[in-house]
Structure 1
Amino acid sequence: MTTQTLRQPAPVPVRPDGGPGREAAAPAPAWAALGIRTRDRVDSTLAAVLGRRFGSATLLRLSGGGGQLLVPAPDRQQALRLAHQVREDLGDGVWISVAWGPYEELGSGVREMTNVLTVVCALNRRPGVYQLGDVAVECAVANSPAVSRCLAALIEPVVTRPELMETLKALIEADGNRARAASELIIHRSTIDYRLQRIEQLTGHSPTSVGGMRTLCTALAARALLRLQGTSSPG
Structure 2
Amino acid sequence: MSIAAPDLPPEPAAGRAGNTPADGTRSGATRTPSGRPSSSRTAPAGRALELAGAQPVPGTRSLRLAEIGGLCRAVAAEAVRERRMPGEDRLGPLATAAARAAGARVPLSAVLRACQEGLRSALDVAGTVERNHAGTAEGNHAGTGDGRDEDGLPSATDLMLELLRAVTGVVGDAYVDEDRQLAVERRAAGQALASALLSGRPGTAVARHSGLPIAPYYQVVALAAVPSGPPDEQAARGSRGVPAAVAEVLGAETPGLLAHTGGTLLLARVPGEPEFTAELLAELSAAAGSALAATAMVAAAGQVPEAAEQVHELLELARLAGRGPGLHGLDDLAMEYQLTRDGPAGRQLARLLDPLEAHPELFETARAYLRNDMNRRLTARQLFVHPNTVDYRLRRIGRLTGIDLATAAGIAQATAALLARDMDRTGRDRTGRTGDMWDEADARRG
- Shared fold (TM-score greater than 0.5)? yes
Aligned with 1:154 (options 348, 352, 364): 352
Q: Which runs of 5+ in 1 are unaligned?
A: 13-19
- Structure 2 Cα separation of the partners of residues 103 and 164 of structure 1: 46
Q: For residue 175 of structure 1, give the secondary structure of its aligned residue in structure 2.
A: coil
Q: Tell me whether 1:80 sits opposite 2:277 in the alignment.
A: yes
- Structure 1 Cα separation of the partners of residues 377 and 216 of structure 2: 50
- Structure 1 Cα separation of the partners of residues 270 and 381 of structure 2: 45
Q: Which residue of 1 aligns with 2:314?
A: 116
- Structure 1 Cα separation of the partners of residues 358 and 221 of structure 2: 33
Q: Tell me whether 1:38 sits opposite 2:226 in the alignment.
A: yes
- 1:34-77 Cα offsets, whole Å, 9 max, x none, are 231421579962221222112212312326x33333323469x9
Identity level (%): 24
Q: Tell me whether 1:129 sits opposite 2:327 in the alignment.
A: yes
What is the CA distance between 1:93 and its match in structure 2?
4.5
Q: Tell me whether 1:104 sits opposite 2:289 in the alignment.
A: no
Q: Which residue of 1 aligns with 2:212?
A: 24
Letter in 1 for 2:262: G
What is the CA distance between 1:149 and its match in structure 2?
1.0
What is the CA distance between 1:150 and its match in structure 2?
0.6
Q: Which residue of 2 aligns with 1:174?
A: 372
Aligned with 1:217 (options 399, 406, 415): 415
Letter in 2 for 1:80: T
Given that 1:27 and 1:103 are in contact with CA atoms closer than 8 Å, whether structure 2 keeps it comes out as: yes
Q: For residue 241 of structure 2, give the secondary structure of its aligned residue in structure 1.
A: helix
Greater Cα offset, 181-190 or 161-170: 161-170
Given that 1:30 and 1:100 are in contact with CA atoms closer than 8 Å, whether structure 2 keeps it comes out as: yes
Aligned with 1:50 (options 246, 270, 287): 246
Rg: which structure is higher?
A: 2
What is the CA distance between 1:153 and its match in structure 2?
0.9
Aligned with 1:163 (options 345, 355, 361): 361
Letter in 1 for 2:356: V
What is the CA distance between 1:215 and its match in structure 2?
1.9
Greater Cα offset, 54-63 or 130-139: 54-63
Compared CA separation, residues 125 and 61, structure 1 to 2 (3 A) = same
Given that 1:182 and 1:192 are in contact with CA atoms closer than 8 Å, whether structure 2 keeps it comes out as: yes
Q: Which residue of 2 aligns with 1:228?
A: 426
Aligned with 1:60 (options 245, 257, 263): 257
Compared CA separation, residues 32 and 211, structure 1 to 2 (3 A) = same
Q: Which residue of 1 aligns with 2:81?
A: none
Given that 2:239 and 2:289 are in contact with CA atoms closer than 8 Å, whether structure 1 keeps it comes out as: no
Aligned pairs, how many? 221
- Structure 2 Cα separation of the partners of residues 222 and 21 of structure 1: 43
What is the CA distance between 1:189 and its match in structure 2?
0.5
* Superposition CA RMSD, Å: 3.3
Given that 1:11 and 1:24 are in contact with CA atoms closer than 8 Å, whether structure 2 keeps it comes out as: no
Letter in 1 for 2:296: V
Compared CA separation, residues 110 and 90, structure 1 to 2 (3 A) = same
